[in-house]
Chains A and B, each alone.
Chain A
């Protein structure tokens, strides 16, 4: 069985909500829909206070080349457009909507029937995906239409679907595959058509045998689509790691995945593509895992964007008493949230409630030069050295040692026996070096 070659770690999987069916949550009383739910320029609001909106109404349109449309997830009245704390931990502009009823835009096909046929051209497919505001739903939230238009001179050879879900605890993609396998496969064929390739691989880690079996059974009817079980290793869901695992090609430092001929899409994104193209349904709801060791009922919910996470926690049996941290995302790459009123966004794959004992940071000690971080780093970097370069602000050295290649997976910090905050420092250094590189290019 295949996996990526460099580094990687094996954190405890803790997939508590595995096998739980997706439960759709009703819309809350008020939703807060942030205007930047994606990487790139924030979307520009096209509604104003007092406007009536339906489910699927465009709230904000793209604010640049790398940007995405944002649609209403509920029907009701726009209460205000104001700043609200989102998952970034900062106040950023958002649309507040008071929910009234549940009226959908007429263009959306709400039936459950599977639509296999797609007679659109590649350009039309990409336009539809862009109009629906689809972004990478694994967590990076990169606008999908941009990814599907490779820069001139590069040619895609394969579509790789990321169904790895290497983050511990999270099961959103797993449950989605079990529930919507057929739709995902149609989505894959649409993507293959959009980028003009005839081969696609869905990579699934072998800790999800039911999903592998289910998808393999269905994939038999879809020529060119292959299900590839992968050996469990974190961070296999990283784009470059997955390309290495699936086709055995290394993407060079600073290069895009397309240089290896691959276009990688998360399985959640593929489902969103299916809904956007075949059902005219913009991206306004997603599957979110609510989990944690003290959570009464770890579950997978289908949630409207903008729902405060407190609603989800309530639905999973309420906030456990000894909750120390609320993490948005998984335990490895997720981020502690400062409030339970943070809304669910396009990139929210899970909510993890950590107990007080689990969430305490241990005091940092001196580096003992054990090089565990070096062997764990999936990008082949030297995290201990990069941290040092950042602390001493030696940006030239940091750049020479490719700090900009860090994918912020946190394997180094996880593995460090001296509990050194390696990633925390590297993230600062990476931002600085990226700034220097951008300034040089101008």
Chain B
């Protein structure tokens, strides 16, 4: 009996195996083996930062593409793209590494609250209801939609400032936070040599006096920076300055002339001329906070002399303008 059972099951098994073999040969899906190879060098985060649905989508798009121009894995950056290029025998486009930059400097001290929001703690929901808890309806709401969107744990709200800060080492410039922010505050900017970069940390489009009243760190659209810039990288539109990072040459002149400290410089060494009278406590505005807590040594430079002196001089004028 046992033998019959073994033989019968053996025959069924063999028949099944034969059937499976035939069907797998007949209906075989021919996949380019390079897709698997490309996918193996990709980070596998499936973040969608490249614009394709996950890493396998990007891999098959790379294999199908005739050139790698415009194809970039923002997470892996140039090294990964070089590997992809060598697998496919193509030239990788020289990609500028980018990083997410939070363009709001409205710290709790600089931007007094005018009302209290007790609804759902979500930026998307709050922005459907009104402009926000402060007088500035363009600035960061601080409920952390960007934090929730980040798959790399690279952006966090600093409880002191109430603003999100980007962890430079972890940020892969996938752009998830940029899409999540309903106020369009976060921008992907060129990471810059030695991570040095300059940007206007404000997106307030209100007129100068209104913006200043809402937030002491706001860009008031005075245009001093645009006049100062020797490279024509700065434009002032809708009462807010914007630095074109493709034109900026990092001279830092704009940082020195900004009356409100809205232009930030990151990771620069301290300037040569030492501050004459360092009075950090008496400074009119809190010094800009470095979004990179991981690098305290190379973080923001102390406020240069020029700014500290220019600011108190400029302030009474602005106050007059407010009235």
Contact = CB atoms under 8 A, between A and B. Distances in A.
A241 B80 CA distance: 58
A90 B138 CA distance: 9
Interface in A314-368: 335-336, 338-339, 359-361, 364
B210 A360 contact: no
B114 interface: yes
Tell me whether chain B's interface is mostly helix, strand or loop, or mixed.
Answer: loop
A79 to B, nearest CB: 16
B124 interface: yes
Nearest to B114: A338
Contacts of A90: 130-131, 137
B125 A427 contact: yes
A6 interface: no
Contacts of B114: 338-339
Given A91-B206, A338-B115, A421 B125 contact: yes
A26 interface: no
A354 B119 CA distance: 15
A421 B118 contact: no
Contact of B131 (A336, A338, A431): A338
Contacts of B210: 83, 91
Interface residues of B, number: 16
A85 B131 CA distance: 9
B120 interface: yes
Given A421-B119, A421-B120, A428-B124, A89 B206 contact: no
A424 B125 CA distance: 6
Chain A residues touching B, majority SS? mixed
Nearest to A429: B124
B23 interface: no
B119 A361 contact: yes
A425 B129 CA distance: 11
B130 A89 contact: yes
Contacts of A360: 118
A23 interface: no
Contacts of A431: 128
Given A338-B130, A339-B114, A339-B115, 4 more contacts: A83-B210, A91-B137, A424-B122, A424-B129
Interface of B: 114-115, 118-120, 122, 124-125, 128-131, 137, 206-207, 210
6 smallest beta-carbon distances between A and B, as pairs: A89-B130, A421-B120, A338-B115, A424-B125, A424-B120, A90-B131
7 contacts: A89-B137, A90-B130, A339-B115, A364-B120, A421-B120, A424-B125, A424-B129
